[in-house]
C-alpha cells in the first residue's frame, strides 16, 4: 500500500479491512473445497480424521463452523468403497455418531 499524504487513518483501516476480508474469503473458499473433496486415500484413519478436524477448526476460526452432522457426512464420504459396510452400519444406528466419537 503506497503512502498518500491525503490518506486518512480511517481510509488506511478500511483498506486493511477490505484486504483481510478478501483473504478470509479466499481462505474460506479453499477450506470449503478441501472439506468437500478430502479423501482418506492411503492415509491412516487417524491421519485422515485429523486432517478433517484441522479443516473444520480452520473454518470455525473464520466464523464458519461446520455442523457436526455435516462433518460426519464428509468423513464418511471420503472413506472409499472399502469402508462401505462400516458407513452403512454407522448411518443405520439410532444414535447419530458425533465426529468426536468417530475419532475415538
Alpha-carbon distance values, 62 to 1, 28, 47, 85 (Å): 24, 7, 23, 35
Q: Does residue 7 belong to any structural domain of this protein? A: no
Domains in the chain, number: 1
Residue 3 confidence (pLDDT): 55
Q: Does residue 83 belong to any structural domain of this protein? A: yes
Taking the whole predicted model, whether its pTM rises above 0.95 is answered as no
Cell of 42: 492411503
Predicted confidence band of residue 15 (pLDDT cuts 50, 70, 90): confident
Asked whether 99 and 54 are in contact (CB, 8 A), the reply is no
Q: Does residue 5 belong to any structural domain of this protein? A: no
- What is the rounded average pLDDT of the residues 3-29? 77
- Whether 35 shows a pLDDT value over 60: the answer reads yes
Q: 58 lies in which domain range?
A: 26-103
Asked whether 52 and 71 are in contact (CB, 8 A), the reply is yes
Q: Does residue 18 belong to any structural domain of this protein? A: no
Q: Does residue 11 belong to any structural domain of this protein? A: no
Amino acid at each position: 500500500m503506497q503512502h498518500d499524504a491525503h490518506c486518512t487513518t480511517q481510509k488506511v483501516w478500511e483498506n486493511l479491512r477490505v484486504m483481510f476480508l478478501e483473504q478470509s474469503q479466499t481462505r474460506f473458499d479453499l477450506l470449503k473445497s478441501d472439506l468437500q473433496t478430502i479423501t482418506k486415500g492411503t492415509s491412516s484413519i487417524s491421519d485422515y480424521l485429523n486432517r478433517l478436524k484441522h479443516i473444520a477448526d480452520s473454518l470455525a476460526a473464520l466464523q464458519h463452523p461446520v455442523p457436526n452432522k455435516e462433518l460426519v457426512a464428509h468423513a464418511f464420504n471420503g472413506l472409499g468403497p472399502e469402508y462401505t459396510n462400516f458407513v452403512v452400519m454407522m448411518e443405520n444406528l439410532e444414535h447419530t455418531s458425533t465426529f468426536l466419537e468417530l475419532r475415538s
